[in-house]
Amino acid sequence: MNITLDEAAKERLSAHLGADKILLLTFEDGVGPYSQHAMIHMQTQFSINVISNEMEKADYDEKIPSEIGDFWIKGYSKEDLQAEMRIKFNPRLSTLSLSGEGGMIDDNLGFIDFTKN
């Protein structure tokens, strides 16, 4: 598995990263401290989260490489992902999307930096 990012997505996400930060690609299923809600509809939903090295990440047991660092995932969420994925920024809507070789995975990828108060 691999994730590539367009330049605008790299720029937006890199502004939140540093040596003490970890990227998560969270499957929004209500499991773990960073999942915002359990799925109550048929749409697959993911979010990008930034946490610090000291924050809990026990539910995130696998990682996917990218140009800006590894994205940690809950291993079982791989069944909703694809081998080659791309994160793009849509400037018109100011949103991120996650797609793969098989098509769109999530056209409104959430983003939360849990290191910010």
Higher pLDDT, 21 or 37: 21
State the chain's mean pLDDT as an integer: 91
What integer pLDDT is reported at residue 43 of this predicted model? 58
- Tens digit of each residue's pLDDT (9 = 90 or more) over 99-117: 999 999 999 999 999 998 6
- Tens digit of each residue's pLDDT (9 = 90 or more) over 47-76: 999 999 999 999 999 999 999 999 999 999
Nearest residue to 26 via CA among 90, 109, 104: 109
Phi, psi of 87 (to 5 degrees): -110, 125
Note the pTM of the prediction, 2 decimals.
0.89
As a whole-number percent, the residues of the chain with pLDDT over 70 amount to 91
Alpha-carbon distance of 19 to 38, in angstroms, equals 31
Beta bridge partners of 18: none
- Tens digit of each residue's pLDDT (9 = 90 or more) over 22-48: 999 999 876 777 876 654 555 568 999
Pull the structure tokens for residue 82: 């694809």
H or E stretch covering 46: strand 46-52
Pull the structure tokens for residue 107: 């056209």
Alpha-carbon distance of 110 to 20, in angstroms, equals 21
Strands 103-113, 95-100: pairing kind: antiparallel
Quickly list DSSP for 81-115.
S-SEEEEEEETTTTEEEEEETTEEEEEEEEEEETT
What integer pLDDT is reported at residue 44 of this predicted model? 64
